[in-house]
């Protein structure tokens, strides 16, 4: 019988397995061994592997990123965690100027095998400084790899790949996925970085998605299917480098493409997908590629203000309908909704 | 406590000082040929610090450095030919032409890299210290940086962490009183002593005469001894002076950002002349020995320049390699 785990537990299991098989793996970040253990993802690590390999840290995001780079130059594989991406912005110097450049600027002499876990917020008043989804920033920097798992299975497999990759990997995990359950094999397995996954086969339109938006897409696709529209869902899993082959193959087949993103839309990963598809497959397209992302505004805080801000399954359904020139209904989604728009489900009671 | 420095060591220190000086002055001389096509920050005047500190380190100790790194690289034992080839942008350069003057590396002698963002390698050296502690390898990680770097947050963050985790890191602040053209007085409050200030962070510190290589060497030996004995980091402040412009081959006293008299007073304390005079006076060395040293150095340097000039450029396609390991 297959085993299911939550996304957060899958991360925790990957950490255990990585630290077990390789003594050079260390894990640190604000709160890794506090009572909450970063939403449970680092629970038990310190007890098992000791305080030298698992430790809380000073509130010094920039220096501690440089420390990770420095330690990695001498054989250590640091995994650093931040409870929100927004705080990590203090570390952009060490990430962009050192981590991303080291291997290239010294002519391939020494790589930087570090993994940085950043948690992305949404809803529940996370507001302007607790919910930024800046994957495009990282993906814009040559030398970094950026992964965004959407399932528990990928969460584990991609984290193991990230840790054992010899390059700096930004591992973006969406807070709304932490409680999501899915099948997770017990053993050590890896999801290759740079490989997208076709989560659903379909002939009418390709949805290219990432991270939490993949879950909204799955809901939308189910509803669309009941209305006779069959979408293909390409979950990017890695946003740098992007698996263009899989994306282009799918769009070639369907002739239509909608790109989803958890970030603000201008200059987003979704924008890049639209650009690439337009450039490479112009003749094969039956309608203009579209993207669905957040408006180009900071995230507001009040639940009243986020109602039209975030994109959900019904927005996907309506956009797909428009692209196909078909009338579609979103009643089923609205009727089936059990929790308010600003939480991922009943399990989430805040505060962040 | 004064440390007695052996004659042979003194002679070697003089040799190292002269070698770095002549390398830098030759670069300055030939820079106008337009073959060294990258920003280049010369170390002339500051040699005693790199030479004195690196003489106190072992080959397997780590060093990281800054934009002004030629001296540190050479004093740690970095390959001269590969350094010059790098500045010339050649395939045989230590960074295969991808780094230039500001990005030198020679891991075979523990020179782990130099970078160009002020303060950028302070946490890198701290992280190397963490790796040493985890590996229990009895090495030291030494970080060179300037006075300007002590104004950035990452400096305080790194020292705080090194003290907290008791890391074997030697922080060497090369205080040359200027960040480009900005004097210390517009950047830090009057009367501050950096080496005293850092003690509040819980790090032990000392200072020395950055133009007196024997003093630098002695202070560095004591610092290394302290780090190994106590298992905690140490901070060393060494005042010195940049003779030439911040970046480039020229003198820039005509710009008026610093007093000519100030420049002259530092030049009178030329680290090479200071040591030479002492050694001649003590009879440790003769004028002929010095001439012989110079000739040997010049020979090595002209061969290295020849190597750099004759080495092939990397193919343009090489720009698209080494993105990932």
A23-68 per-position pLDDT tens digit: 999 999 999 999 999 999 999 999 999 999 999 999 999 999 999 9
A16 assigned to some structural domain: yes
According to DSSP, the residues that pair with B300 across neighbouring strands are none
Total domains in chain A come to 2
CA angle A24, A145, A119 (to 5 degrees): 80
- Assign A2 a pLDDT band (cuts: 50, 70, 90): confident
In this complex, is the C-beta atom of B320 within 8 Å of any C-beta atom belonging to chain A? no
* Chain B contacts in chain A segment 201-260 (CB below 8 A): none
Domain contains A223: yes
A113 and A8 in a single domain? The answer is yes
Tens of pLDDT, residue by residue over A157-212, are: 999 999 999 999 999 999 999 999 999 999 999 999 999 999 999 999 999 999 99
Per-residue pLDDT at A1: 62
Distance from the A92 Cα atom to the nearest Cα atom in chain B, whole angstroms: 11
CB B173 within 8 A of CB B235: yes
The pLDDT of residue B1 is 59
CB contact under 8 A, A52 and B125: no
Q: Are residues A22 and A111 in the same domain?
A: yes
Residues A155 and A205 in one domain: no
Counting other chains too, the contacts that A15-21 makes at CB distance below 8 Å and 24 or more residues apart are A15/A41, A15/A42, A15/A45, A15/A79, A15/A159, A16/A44, A16/A45, A16/A48, A17/A160, A17/A188, A18/A77, A18/A79, A18/A159, A18/A160, A18/A163, A18/A164, A19/A45, A19/A48, A19/A49, A19/A53, A19/A54, A21/A188
Which residue, of A183, A209, A242, is where some domain finishes? A183
Backbone angles phi and psi of A222, in degrees to 5? -60, -45
Any chain A CB within 8 A of the CB of B315? Answer: no
Tokens of B167: 């890391």
> B129 and A70 in contact by Cβ < 8 A?
yes
CB of B145 within 8 A of CB of B122?
yes
Per the annotation, the verdict on A61 as an active-site residue is yes
Distance from the Cα of A85 to chain B's closest Cα (Å) equals 19
A53 to chain B, any CB pair closer than 8 A? The answer is yes
- B239 lies within 8 A of chain A by CB: no
In terms of domains, do A177 and A307 share one? no
Residue A329 lies in a domain: yes
A168 & A204 share domain: no
Q: For residue range A81-119, what is the model confidence (pLDDT) as tens digits?
A: 999 999 999 999 999 999 999 999 999 999 999 999 999
Residues A121 and A209 occupy one common structural domain: no
Query: Which of B325, B173, B315, B301 has the alpha carbon at shortest distance from B237?
Result: B173
Examine the domain organization and report whether A222 and A298 are in the same domain. yes
Q: Is the pLDDT of residue A347 over 90?
A: no
Q: Is B158 on the interface with A (CB under 8 A)?
A: yes
A347 domain-assigned: no
Chain B contact for A35, CB < 8 A? no
pTM: 0.97
- B60 in contact with A at a CB cutoff of 8 Å? no
B294 inside 8 A of chain A by CB: no
Going along chain B from its start, the domains and CATH numbers come out as 7-312 (3.40.50.970)
Average pLDDT across each block of 10 residues of chain B; the chain has 325 residues. List them in order.
87 98 98 96 98 98 98 98 98 98 98 98 98 98 98 98 98 97 96 97 98 98 98 98 96 95 97 97 96 98 98 98 97
Residues of B in contact with A105 (CB under 8 A): 95, 98-99, 103
- State mean pLDDT over A296-312: 96
Domain of residue A301 covers: 197-336
Q: Are residues A204 and A280 in the same domain?
A: yes
In a domain, A240, yes or no: yes
Q: How far apart are the CA of A63 and the nearest CA of chain B, in angstroms?
A: 5
Q: Which residues of A touch B126 (CB under 8 A)?
A: 63, 66-67, 70
In a domain, A239, yes or no: yes
- Decide if B164 and A58 are in contact by the 8 Å CB cutoff: yes
Contact A66 B127 (CB under 8 A): yes
* Residue A122, domain CATH: 3.40.50.970
Do residues A145 and A23 both lie within one domain?
A: yes
Question: Is A25 in the same domain as A172?
Answer: yes
> If you average pLDDT over residues A331-339, what whole number do you get?
90
The mean pLDDT value for A301-308 works out to: 95
Q: Number of residue pairs across A and B with CB atoms under 8 Å?
A: 149
| Catalytic status, residue A130 | yes
Is the minimum CB–CB distance between A50 and chain B shorter than 8 Å? no
**A258 is written with which tokens?**
């909608």
- For β-strands B141-146 and B62-65, DSSP reports them as parallel
For strands A231-235 and A205-209, give the pairing: parallel
> How much of chain A exceeds pLDDT 90, in percent?
95
Residues of A in contact with B324 (CB under 8 A): 103, 111, 143, 145, 166-167
Question: Is the interface score ipTM higher than 0.90?
Answer: yes
Q: Residue B134 and residue A98: Cβ atoms within 8 Å?
A: no
Q: Are residues A207 and A132 in the same domain?
A: no
Same domain, A83 and A228: no
- Taking CA–CA distances from A169, the nearest residue in chain B reads B324
Could you tell me where the DSSP H helices lie in chain A?
A: 7-21, 45-49, 61-72, 85-88, 92, 102-105, 135-139, 152-164, 213-226, 244-254, 269-281, 313-324, 331-336
Active-site choice (A130, A174, A178, A219): A130
């Amino acid at each position: 019988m297959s085993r299911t785990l939550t996304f957060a537990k899958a991360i925790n299991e990957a950490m255990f397995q990585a630290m077990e098989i390789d003594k050079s793996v260390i894990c640190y970040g604000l709160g890794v061994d506090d009572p909450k253990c970063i939403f449970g993802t680092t629970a038990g690590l310190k007890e098992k592997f000791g305080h030298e390999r698992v430790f809380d840290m000073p509130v010094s995001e920039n220096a501690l990123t440089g420390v990770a780079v420095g330690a990695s130059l001498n054989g250590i594989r640091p995994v650093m965690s931040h409870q929100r991406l927004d705080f990590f912005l203090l570390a952009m110097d060490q990430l962009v100027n050192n981590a991303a450049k080291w291997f290239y600027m010294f002519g391939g002499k020494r790589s930087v095998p570090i993994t940085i876990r950043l948690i992305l917020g949404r809803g529940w008043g996370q507001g302007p400084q607790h919910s930024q989804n800046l994957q495009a920033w990282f993906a814009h920097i040559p030398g970094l790899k950026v992964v965004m798992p959407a399932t528990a299975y990928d969460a584990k497999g991609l984290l193991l790949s990230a840790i054992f990759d010899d390059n700096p990997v930004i591992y973006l995990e969406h807070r709304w996925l932490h409680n999501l359950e899915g099948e997770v094999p017990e053993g050590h397995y890896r999801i290759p970085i740079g490989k997208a996954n076709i989560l659903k086969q379909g002939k009418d339109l390709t949805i290219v998605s990432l991270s939490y938006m993949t879950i909204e897409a799955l809901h939308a696709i189910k509803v669309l299917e009941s209305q006779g529209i069959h979408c293909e869902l390409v979950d990017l899993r890695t946003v740098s480098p992007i698996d263009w082959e899989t994306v282009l193959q799918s769009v070639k087949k369907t002739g239509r493409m909608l790109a989803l993103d958890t970030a603000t839309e201008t200059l987003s990963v979704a924008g890049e997908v639209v650009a690439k598809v337009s450039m490479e497959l112009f003749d094969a397209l039956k309608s203009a590629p579209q993207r669905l992302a957040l408006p180009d505004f900071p995230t507001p805080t009040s639940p009243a203000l986020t109602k039209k801000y975030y994109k959900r399954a019904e927005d996907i359904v309506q956009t797909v309908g428009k692209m196909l020139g078909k009338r579609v209904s979103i009643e089923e989604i609205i009727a089936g909704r059990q929790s308010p728009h600003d939480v991922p489900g009943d399990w989430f009671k805040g505060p962040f | 406590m004064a440390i007695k420095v052996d004659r042979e060591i003194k002679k070697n220190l003089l040799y190292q000082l002269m070698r770095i000086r002549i390398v830098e002055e030759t670069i300055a001389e030939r820079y106008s040929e337009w073959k060294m096509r990258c920003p280049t920050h010369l170390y002339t005047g500051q040699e005693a610090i790199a030479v004195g500190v690196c003489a106190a380190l072992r080959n397997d100790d780590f060093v990281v450095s800054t934009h002004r790194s030629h001296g540190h690289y050479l004093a740690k034992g970095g390959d001269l030919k590969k350094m010059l080839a790098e500045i010339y942008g050649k395939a045989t350069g230590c960074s295969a032409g991808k780094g230039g003057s500001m990005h030198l590396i020679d891991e075979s002698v523990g020179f782990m890299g130099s970078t160009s963002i002020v303060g950028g390698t302070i946490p890198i050296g701290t992280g190397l210290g963490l790796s040493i502690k985890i590996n229990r390898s009895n090495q030291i990680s030494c970080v060179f940086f300037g006075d300007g770097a002590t104004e950035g947050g990452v400096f305080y963050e790194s020292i705080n962490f090194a003290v907290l985790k008791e890391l074997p890191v030697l922080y060497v602040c090369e205080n040359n009183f200027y960040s480009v053209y900005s004097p210390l007085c517009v950047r830090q409050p009057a009367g501050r002593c950096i080496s005293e200030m850092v003690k509040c962070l819980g790090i032990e510190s000392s200072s020395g005469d950055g133009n007196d290589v024997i003093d630098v060497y002695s202070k560095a030996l004591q610092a290394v001894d302290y780090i190994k004995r106590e298992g905690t980091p140490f901070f060393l402040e060494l005042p010195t002076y940049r003779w030439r412009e911040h970046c480039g081959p020229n003198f820039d006293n005509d710009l008026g950002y610093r007093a000519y008299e100030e420049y002259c007073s530092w030049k009178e304390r030329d680290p090479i002349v200071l040591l030479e005079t002492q050694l001649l006076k003590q009879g440790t060395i003769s004028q002929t020995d010095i001439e012989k040293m110079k000739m040997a150095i010049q020979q090595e340097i002209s061969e290295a320049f020849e190597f750099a000039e004759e080495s092939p450029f990397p193919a343009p396609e090489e720009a698209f390699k080494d993105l990932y390991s």
